[in-house]
Amino acid sequence: MSETIEIPAAEAVPTGPGDRPGFWRTVGQALRGVRHDYTEGPIGRAIVLLAVPMVLEMVLESVFAVVDVFWVSRLGADAIATVGLTESMLALIYSLAIGLSMGAAATVARRIGEKNPDAAARAAVQSIALGIAAAVPIGIVGAILAPRLLAAMGASPGVIANSGFTRVMLGANVVILLLFLINAVFRGAGDPSIAMRTLWLANAFNLLFDPCFIFGLGPFPRLGVMGAAVATTCGRGIGVLFQLWTLRRGRGRIVIRREHISIDPPAMLRLLKISGNGIFQAMIGMASWIGIVRILSAFGSAVVAGYTIGIRIIVFAILPSWGLSNAAATMVGQNLGARKPDRAERSVYIAALYNMIFLGAVGVVFVLLAGPLIRLFSTDPAVLPFGTACLRIVSYGFLFYAVGMVMTQAFNGAGDTWTPTRINFCIFWLFEIPLAYVLSRRVGLGPRGVFAAIAIAFSTLAVVSTTIFRRGRWKEKKV
């Protein structure tokens, strides 16, 4: 079977059966942003074209926090604590951004699958309007009440003195929301390379501005810890300007013209309905980790430190899996829009298989090398055994995690955000947290019981999600 591809003339690629691109050539095309009809042709190639830039986008998103902490750590413990406490408050904004992004990506993907780019452009405008409407009141309250919010989080006087960082980050939260939202629009449209380039640009400026604003290099003012917030906001702001320019100039599948720019209350309500469940879904997941840390904190700081190191290694290692999961979401949305539910379902199973291969290999490495990996971050003899146990025990469930992540995003891609929300609530709050308490305190397994509960819960989520997915009701979801 030949492959149907829309490619600019400058990048035309032979697509006959004997000329089908190999894996690495496909990767190159994914990075260049070759246009492709994801409702036609080999599913495996379509997933690779989507997943490669999405994986890199996820990795680049994590760079913001790493760069800030790297430079701010030169300013002392209070500065680091300011960043940490502010990030905990920003978790709510991230939940809002992720939830709104679910609705935007699902709606845009469905319209593109229906071959209706004008409707996709109007959906993108409504998504951007929702993001701005949500960001403005949060920004006003955050900028005014930053010192009080830090005090409520238990901040020391030294941390509260750095409230300028918190004011900037909360006050300018609109760039966070728009960066997430518009990148979701690009992913839903099948233009993940544009989302990836946006993060490249934003990170490049963040890397440049961070030391300049923090330490006052050259003509830049010396702002201390607040300089990190200014640098990050400027970097993200430049990324948002690039996104808007791309949407206006028509560099991708979606072109926003003057006739698309209007408020459509019914469309916004539909988006809000999908996104509301997504926001709740993200908050459930993030808040459940607070419950886990609360149980672990009873066993001492060394346990919490070991857990923190182990989980951070795990989270960074599974970022590529989120890229594959997002690719599955786009495939589901576009193929449902094209009235090809069977192709959408096959796409999910293939993406899950790829994810299992990747995470399975990572899991083997983590189980065998847990100790040496933890030692890269800490050599404290009190921390090492708990960090090693966390990394090793949680890694036993990687094959299940691979499937669960793809299934969750498949529901979201279909616009069925309510199903994974209910699953997350039942698994994480009604099962995982009680199980962690029982295994650690009642059964007497201590911290290892908490780590086991995490592995069991995520494995259970995979089984439950797959069972519900196979029933196929998500295929009937209207977006």
User: For 268-328, what is the HEC assignment?
Assistant: HHHHHHHHHHHHHHHHHHHHHHHHHHHHHHCCCHHHHHHHHHHHHHHHHHCHHHHHHHHHH
| Domain annotation covers residue 270 | no
Q: Clarify whether residues 318 and 237 are in a common domain.
A: no
Residues 158 and 83 in one domain: yes
Burial class (CB in 10 A: 0-12, 13-18, 19+), 31: middle
Q: Would residue 201 count as lying in a domain?
A: yes
Report pLDDT for 218: 87
Domain count, the chain: 2
Instruction: Look at residue 462 and tell me if it is in a domain.
Output: yes
pLDDT score of 347 = 96
Residues 209 and 80 in one domain: yes
* Gap between the Cα atoms of 223 and 164, Å rounded: 9
Residue 254: φ, ψ to 5° = -105, 130
- pLDDT for res 25: 85
pLDDT, tens digit, for every residue of 134-180? Answer: 999 999 999 999 999 888 877 778 888 989 999 999 999 999 999 99
Same domain membership, residue 255 and residue 115: yes
Please identify every stretch of the chain with a pLDDT value under 70, giving residue numbers as ranges: 1-21, 61-66, 69
Comparing CA positions, the residue from 212, 209, 215, 214 lying closest to residue 234 is: 209
**195 within a domain of the structure (yes/no):** yes
Same domain, yes or no, for 325 and 290?
yes
Interatomic CA distance for residues 136 and 129, integer angstroms:
11
Structure tokens at 74: 């030169």
Which pLDDT value is given to residue 65? 61
Both 180 and 308 in a single domain?
Answer: no
Whether residue 123 sits in one domain with residue 245: yes
Which of 204, 228, 263 finishes a domain?
A: 263
Query: Which SS3 state, helix, strand or coil, does residue 53 take?
Result: helix
Residues 221, 329, single domain; the answer is: no
Q: Taking each helix axis from N to C terminus, what angle separates 398-413 and 77-113, rounded to the nearest 10 degrees?
A: 50
pLDDT at 66: 64
Identify the CA nearest to 165 among candidates 89, 109, 239, 240. 89
Within a domain: residue 393? yes
Distance of alpha carbon 191 from alpha carbon 52, whole angstroms: 11
Burial class (CB within 10 angstroms; exposed 0-12, middle 13-18, buried 19+) of 369: middle
Q: 152 lies in a domain? A: yes
- Could you give the CA distance from residue 333 to residue 335 in angstroms, rounded to a whole number? 6
Distance CA 199, CA 181 (A): 13
| Residue 216 shares a structural domain with residue 311 | no
Nearest-angstrom CA–CA distance, 207 and 192: 23
In sequence order, the 6+-apart residues with CB closer than 8 A to the CB of 45 are: 3, 20, 21, 26
CB 447 within 8 A of CB 386: yes
Q: What is the domain extent for residue 305? A: 285-476
Indicate the DSSP class of residue 155. Answer: -
- Examine residue 226 and state whether it is found in any structural domain, yes or no: yes
Which of residues 263, 295, 325 is at a domain's end? 263
Report whether 426 contacts 463 (CB < 8 A).
Answer: no
% the chain with pLDDT above 90 = 54
Whether 220 and 291 map to the same domain: the answer is no
Separation CA 475–CA 344 (nearest Å): 9
* Whole-structure pTM value: 0.79
Please tell me whether residues 106 and 166 are part of one structural domain: yes
pLDDT score at 383: 86
Determine, yes or no, domain membership for 343. Answer: yes
Looking at the structure, tell me whether residues 134 and 193 fall in a common domain: yes
* 135 within 8 A of 174, measured Cβ to Cβ: yes
Report pLDDT for 86.
81
